[in-house]
Chains A and B, each alone.
Chain A
Amino acid sequence: GAVVSQHPSWVICKSGTSVKIECRSLDFQATTMFWYRQFPKQSLMLMATSNEGSKATYEQGVEKDKFLINHASLTLSTLTVTSAHPEDSSFYICSAIAREGYNQPQHFGDGTRLSIL
């Protein structure tokens, strides 16, 4: 149980386009979802916390107008990278916490590798 699915797994697009990444909890309801970014040979960096039905909370230094997060339901959160540029190329990973568990672990998706040409 506790499966988180991310789509797409990888995407290549031209500079200036916007890219949407979906994160779904398949077999549980997720009150809270998180978005991370990871550059090669580095650790995960938390970008934002997404709560169903409310605005996302962004970490310091993360541009909210650049990385739009929508948590429309208890099973779906989306991250849109707007007007993407080569420096936005990275591995984007989402995670989710089950609704019932305050001290439950985060369940991670397999990540989306984004390459901007």
Chain B
Amino acid sequence: DAKTTQPNSMESNEEEPVHLPCNHSTISGTDYIHWYRQLPSQGPEYVIHGLTSNVNNRMASLAIAEDRKSSTLILHRATLRDAAVYYCILRDNFRDNQGGKLIFGQGTELSVKP
């Protein structure tokens, strides 16, 4: 599985934007970039995913580099509820025949200060 590299931890201030980076230099052409987050003592929650173009949804934006070797998850205004571990995961729907399993790395632990 193609691997991703994320900082172990990041800090942000409440109501300020947060940019969470992810490096995936060995990404293949059919790998989608998925982001999930996990709040304490809960199961992960889907945030966003994309292939080549930047993506926006109600939770966040995903900016994908032109060469696709890195991406950035953008939280436009961090709240205390956004404190979580954020996982950047590559998922290839074509190579595996198991509906796209996710292999989690260590993720980035985001803390939000009031």
Interface residues of A, Cβ cutoff 8 Å to B: 4, 6, 31-32, 34, 36, 43-46, 49, 51, 57, 93-95, 97, 102-103, 105-111, 113
Contacts and interface: CB of A to CB of B under 8 A. Distances in A.
B93 A103 contact: yes
Interface centre among A6, A49, A51 (most CB of B within 10 A): A49
Given A34-B102, A46-B104, A102-B100, 14 more contacts: A4-B43, A32-B98, A43-B104, A43-B106, A49-B98, A95-B44, A102-B93, A102-B99, A103-B32, A103-B100, A106-B36, A106-B44, A110-B42, A111-B41
B31 to A, nearest CB: 11
A36 to B, nearest CB: 8
B103 interface: yes
Contact of B101 (A6, A43, A49, A103): A49
B106 A106 contact: no
Nearest 7 CB-CB pairs, A to B? A108-B43, A32-B99, A105-B46, A44-B104, A49-B98, A43-B104, A93-B43
Contacts of A103: 32, 49, 93, 100
B43 A97 contact: no
A31 to B, nearest CB: 7
Interface of B: 32, 34, 36, 38, 41-46, 49, 87, 93, 98-107
A109 B43 CA distance: 6
Given A43-B106, A43-B107, A102-B93, A107 B46 contact: yes
A95 B104 CA distance: 13
Contacts of B36: 105-106, 108
A108 B41 contact: no
A111 B105 CA distance: 18
Contacts of B101: 34, 46, 49
A30 to B, nearest CB: 9
6 contacts: A32-B98, A34-B101, A49-B99, A105-B36, A106-B44, A107-B46
A10 B108 CA distance: 26
A95 B45 CA distance: 10
A102 to B, nearest CB: 6
